[in-house]
Amino acid sequence: ALNCGIVGLPNVGKSTLFSALTSAPAEAANYPFCTIDPNKGIVDVPDPRLAKITEFIQPKKVIPAICEFLDIAGLVEGASKGEGLGNQFLAHIRETGIIAHVVRCFDDPDVVHVAGSVDPVRDIETINVELALADLETVEKRLTRTERETRSNDRDAAKKAQGMLPLLQRLKDGLSQGTPARTLGFTDDELELMRDLHLITLKRTLYVCNVDEGGLEGDNPLVAQVEKVAAGEDAEVIRICGQLEAEIAALETPEERAEFLAEAGLEQSGLDRLIHAAYHLMGLHTYFTAGEKEVRAWTIPQGAAAPQAAGVIHSDFERGFIAAETFHYDDLLALGSKQKVREAGKLRIEGKNYIVKDGDIIEFRFNV
């Protein structure tokens, strides 16, 4: 699933961030396939290139790419044992693409900490142990089934099961230590074999340090602790100030927000950084279509070839794909018009094996 689940202990700032993220929801009319759910937020992916493109082409409409976030509250110590509706929440996490794990790095005597003190490393461990235990349960069930299958009369099935056993055992050993599966050093082939287990701790993770306003820049010992944990498990880290984001989100116009950011000496809001980090961690990037009617950013998996990219617009485009007339945003910016890009020989006709790049501007040719 191409979405990002927001997890973390209670009172770390998850709902503050989620409300700020969804205060300006994406225009639902553009996304008829999206269902409405209070815990789900479809947000625009901010992309300054869209505004630039519309300086060259004046379209009737501009449509940004989108990204989906899920607010997964209720994860507490003991969740994997079913405490605090724990299992239900774990089921939601299983369905997400990546995880944004919010960690409290702000001091505030008015906000009670569930464990009594601010200690991001302990908090991360508490959540990760619950997630690992949830995965352990999944793996143990599968192990029992696979052991039975090794005694099957179907020799191929028995052989396959035999091959899976050491892998499952390795998972079990790691997870029972509370270690996330993504840090156990599996090869791509092994990962493929365990894909249908849908393990939570295999998902890519972004630690979101919720800091005091003063902690956004420069050295921050609490953030440094989180960075150390993240380095050990191939995760990413960003810092954000939930309170500040809530204030920005409460402003009415984009102009007011821009002014607020400028006064705070910030280039981008923390939410913008969060959205970008999540988008990239999901393995996504953007190409554009640019016509008089509309300029639009489309989301595709990194590495997608031209027909697959066309299919995001319409399945007919993929089925009837002929070619992709392509140039790059950077060339448009440097040369000033599509005509000049063409004259410079930078407008190319690409075929079905072309791997679309982030920032390509494409017009597809297809048969219907």
Place of tokens 């070839």: 305
Distant-in-sequence, close-in-space partners of 49: CB < 8 Å, separation ≥ 6: 288, 297, 329, 359
Helix (H) or strand (E) holding 315: helix 315-319
- Nearer residue to ligand GDP within complex by CB, 48 or 221: 221
Q: Do residues 121 and 223 touch, judged by C-beta distance below 8 A?
A: no
108 binds ligand GDP (CB under 6 A): yes
Least CB distance from residue 220 to ligand GDP, whole Å?
A: 13
**Which member of 4, 12, 98, 297 binds ligand GDP (CB under 6 A)?**
12
**Binding to ligand GDP, residues 55-74 (CB under 6 A):** 73
**Binding to ligand GDP, residues 209-238 (CB under 6 A):** 210
Report how far apart, in Å, the C-alpha atoms of 305 and of each of 188, 226, 231, 353, 355 are.
Answer: 21, 37, 32, 6, 4
∠ CA 41-47-50 to the nearest 5 degrees?
A: 120
Least CB distance from residue 40 to ligand GDP, whole Å?
A: 15
Q: Which of 186, 250, 221 is nearest to 16 (CA)?
A: 250
- Nearer residue to ligand GDP within complex by CB, 72 or 295: 72
Least CB distance from residue 37 to ligand GDP, whole Å?
A: 17
Q: In what order do the strands lie in the sheet with 98-105?
A: 40-44, 66-71, 3-7, 98-105, 205-211, 236-240
Query: Which segments are annotated as binding site?
Result: 11-16
10 binds ligand GDP (CB under 6 A): yes
240-259 footprint of ligand GDP as x/- string (CB under 6 A): -xxx----------------
**Which member of 4, 26, 69, 106 binds ligand GDP (CB under 6 A)?**
106
Q: How far apart, in whole angstroms, are the C-alpha atoms of residue 22 and residue 270?
A: 14
15 binds ligand GDP (CB under 6 A): yes
Least CB distance from residue 271 to ligand GDP, whole Å?
A: 13
Binding site for ligand GDP (CB under 6 A): 8, 10-16, 73, 106, 108, 111, 210, 241-243
